[in-house]
Structure 1
Amino acid sequence: MTSFPYAELSLTEDQNKAAEAFSDWLQQKDASLPFVLSGYAGSGKTFLSMRLLRQVESSGLCWTVVAPTHKAVGVLRQALNLEGLQPTWYPSTIHRLLRLKLKRQGDRELCESTEQTAAALEHLGLVLVDEASMVDSSLLSIALQCAHPFKTRLVFVGDPAQLPPVGESESPVFGMKRAVSACLREVVRHQGPVLQLASCLRDGRLPCEVPPLLPPLRSDLGQVGVLNRGDWLSRAQEGLRQAAASDNPDAARILCYTNRRLEALVPHARRAIHGEMADQMAVLPGEVLITRTAVMAPASSDGGETGEEPDLVLGSNRELVVEDVSPERCDLAEFGVAGEAQMSLAGLGAPVIETLNAKVRSGELELNLRLQPPSGSQAREHLDALLKRLAQDARNAGKRGGRPLWRRYFLVRDAFASLGPAAVLTVHRSQGSSFGEVFVADDVFPRSLDRLAPDRRVFHQQLAYVAVSRARHGVYLVGDSQRNAASWSKALRGMG
């Protein structure tokens, strides 16, 4: 829920204390201690960060800003431009700044140091890392190690109420023992309905369970609506249509919790944007897609030369615009799969997968990618069956004999890019982004918190908070009764 501009705003008491702590820290000789600025949505983290960076610029230090995702980097660039700040180095992802190599492990990406990593921060006096709640333990450790020999100061800015990195119970940045910390507790942005809802979900004034049906609550700063499922879907489709018509995909997004719900919502979203053509082609020119997993070199006819890494063409969560689409018959014999017995075991009559090749663009980067067949298609079923068989063969061959078989499995798996429409995202993928209107699917809010373990209650609280706080202007939820309607209405009006 970032909003700009904010040049002449005065500081709150919290922000003044944080600014003073930062000034003291900046003057200390010991640069090994990082500075951690934490705060909730609406507490003015971005506003204060720009003030702090202006101080850094005045000090003569070489500096830059980074974030874990390309989307979050874009938000940072916008803030810097509006404030008239010019970093010494162009803002980028933290992985690119640290010259890290990304490796795909299953559906996750792991970062590894390269020969260039150790000297990546040699000429920088300060680096500000935004959306720090997304930085996992491995990435944090590498950043601290890189900064130490060159006395590069690190500033981490983030929201402790957001979801922690995958596989971790909490965001490690906020648990650092050796750090100078400042916390912004006061929500300073005038509380419109969206921010009020986010704050109420975060602090427990409203339970993170299926909400009651409510008439739209509107103000000059936005609106919140709780609709039945049919009306919610119709409103979401209309929002996506308007976003497409204005050529602004960030104007509206659907957010959900599970991939299963995502797959169910994607056809509705595509029909809203593309009409009847959505049912005729799995991918259309002009469509905005997102990488669901890292795209590896075998999936690109351009090879690895134009990608982000020698073997990795695109990291996950990169948004792409489709410029052209053409059918492709992928002969798996090129990837070491051959033989009638092997193919028949996987249910394939011939070693060929019918799919699509898409010419895509992301900024100045243009690529030709072989796409994974759509979920539910016969080609996808054949590919999944073959991969399952190849993996089983590799396991049966044991540690030594299985090595070449695993190599063949990964070649086939990586020969197809897993992309999906960006109009529907999981809440996890949406972190670091902001959208005009957000339509939160019904799987984000459980039916009841009573049956959930304490850790699952905390998780759904974080999930709902992140989903709602992605919106700049409007949030629409799915409700199902009038239960607790009075308490919800009272809380959203700031009367609770």
Structure 2
Amino acid sequence: MVKKILDEYPKKAIVSAPTRKANAVISQATAIQGYTIHSLLGLQPDINLEDFNPNDPVFGQIKKATIRNYNLIIIDEASMINTVLFELIDSEINRSLITKVLFLGDQAQIPPIGDQLSPIFTLENSYQLTQLMRQATDNPLAPLTQQLRNVNNQLPEFLIKKQTLLSEAAEGILFVDSNEEFREQLIEVFGSSHAKTDPNYAKLIAWRNKTVMQSNRIIRDLVFGDDAKLVEKGDVLTGYRAIKANSKEEFLINNCVDYKVVDVSERQRNINGLFGYTVSILEKAKIFKGFEQKDIFVIDSQDETNLYDYAEIHDSLLLIARSDKLWNAYYEFRKNNLLLIDIDRCRDGRSKSKNNLIKKDLDYGFAVTAHKAQGSTYNKVFVLLKDIQLNTNITERNQILYVAMTRARKLLIVL
């Protein structure tokens, strides 16, 4: 639908989304280079703030907004837009005589942080699409996922009965009763040739971060064995931060984006004197089909001495950056030394303060939270229903359940 609108629209139009991953999806679907909302609004981390924290940056309108350069902006995944961001968009559009915005969003998905509902759903001029497009019409998932939109305190009947429904093409929903059977399915799917080449082929989705971390360890052990190295060829890594050295560069790593590892070097020492691995990764191309390859250096976090060497260099550069506003050297160091683990303690065992925690850049990506999966589509999805049901906030539980169970294009496997 969006592509048809853009193909027939006679004036200047652009696609956009709240996150880089969602923006990549809409860009590829329309074959048009899109930009994130933050980019169109000129929003960047305000590094001039006295208490600027690179782990939790405050965005300010640092650059000139370009959103009014277009006649039509189509914003996908707009359910992620919170009140503050909506007001910035509204303010810019009200200063234009020509610019219109079309928001695309799903009210059943997880709302933006801090809001019960995105303000886009209160707009008067709105239409509701009723046809599901993610699955084929003969896939049993199509009518079942529609039931998830109307869940209250009680789960829908198909989840209570746990009835497997599969088409002749083995597409649909498969319920498994035991951890052993679930693990067999994990081995079959994540050990397949498809999963080894496509980071978006399969995903396990849960609610809690703790469950995601445990699941990633289990899947890696199943796929690579108990003696797996820090990074293996065939690993899936997911971005947990947006990484680049300065505002003029392309992002090396994007938050929530999946990367497939295609090569790993022997352990080596880099220019900073730190040990790690040069890792070749594939990222899905931004517009056309296929993948883009890039190399990253991953710190050996299994070596505790090496990890704290990294932390001390990091902390000294952060101190200089905060006092002298020399952030380029800090971000260059972060870009050239990527972490797969948070650092919350000093070498002597003391806990780091909240503002001085060092957050990981990447983590294993076989499993993710529903929040990180929002906006993505995978051929096969594993859902840990038991974990999601631990959420006592029924409204949030239902939204997480909806997102988790609507990510699959072909097959949903539920424990």
TM over 0.5: yes
Residue 428 of structure 1 is matched in structure 2 by 371
Partner-residue secondary structure (3-state), 2:3: helix
Answering whether residue 277 of structure 2 is matched by residue 317 of structure 1, we say no
Change beyond 3 A, Cα 1:113–1:466: same
1:386 is displaced (CA, Å) by: 1.1
Residue pairs, 1:181-196, within 5 angstroms: 181-185=126-130, 190=137, 192-196=139-143
Answering whether residue 51 of structure 2 is matched by residue 114 of structure 1, we say no
Residue pairs, 1:342-353, within 5 angstroms: none
Residue 40 of structure 2 is matched in structure 1 by 97
Residue pairs, 1:334-483, within 5 angstroms: 356=277, 358=279, 360=281, 362=283, 363=285, 364=292, 366=294, 368-371=296-299, 373=301, 383-386=343-346, 389=350, 391-392=352-353, 409=356, 413=358, 417-446=360-389, 452=392, 456-478=393-415
1:62 is displaced (CA, Å) by: 0.4
Q: Is the 8 A contact 1:213 1:227 kept in 2?
A: no
Q: Is the 8 A contact 2:74 2:101 kept in 1?
A: yes
Residue 292 of structure 1 is matched in structure 2 by 240
Answering whether residue 2 of structure 2 is matched by residue 52 of structure 1, we say no
1:139 is displaced (CA, Å) by: 2.5
Gaps of 5+ in 1: 1-46, 82-86, 298-302, 335-351, 396-405, 479-496
Residue 69 of structure 2 is matched in structure 1 by 123
Change beyond 3 A, Cα 1:186–1:244: closer
1:296 is displaced (CA, Å) by: 6.2
* Matched residue type, 2:181: D
1:193 is displaced (CA, Å) by: 1.9
Answering whether residue 99 of structure 2 is matched by residue 159 of structure 1, we say no
Residue 167 of structure 2 is matched in structure 1 by 219
2-structure distance, mates of 1:316, 1:246: 21
| RMSD after superposition | 3.7
Give CA deviations for 1:101-144 in whole Å, capped at 9, x if unaligned. Answer: 14785765654322222xx1243110100111112223222222
Gaps of 5+ in 2: 47-51, 286-291, 312-342
Q: Whose radius of gyration is greater, 1 or 2?
A: 1
TM-score, normalisation: structure 1: 0.63
* Matched residue type, 2:39: R
2-structure distance, mates of 1:154, 1:356: 45
Residue 148 of structure 1 is matched in structure 2 by 94
Change beyond 3 A, Cα 1:306–1:371: farther
Partner-residue secondary structure (3-state), 1:385: coil
Q: Which has the higher helix share?
A: 1
Partner-residue secondary structure (3-state), 1:465: helix
Q: Is the 8 A contact 1:111 1:139 kept in 2?
A: no
* Matched residue type, 1:279: D
Residue 138 of structure 1 is matched in structure 2 by 84
Partner-residue secondary structure (3-state), 1:235: helix
Residue 238 of structure 1 is matched in structure 2 by 188
Residue 27 of structure 1 is matched in structure 2 by none
2-structure distance, mates of 1:130, 1:71: 11
Identity %: 22
Partner-residue secondary structure (3-state), 2:69: coil
- Once the two structures are overlaid, the 10-residue window that deviates more, 222-231 or 203-212, is 203-212
Change beyond 3 A, Cα 1:236–1:69: farther
Change beyond 3 A, Cα 1:107–1:307: same
2-structure distance, mates of 1:369, 1:305: 21
Partner-residue secondary structure (3-state), 2:104: strand
**How many residues in Structure 1 have an aligned counterpart in Structure 2?**
362
Answering whether residue 213 of structure 2 is matched by residue 263 of structure 1, we say yes
Residue 145 of structure 2 is matched in structure 1 by 198
* Matched residue type, 1:293: R
2-structure distance, mates of 1:110, 1:191: 46
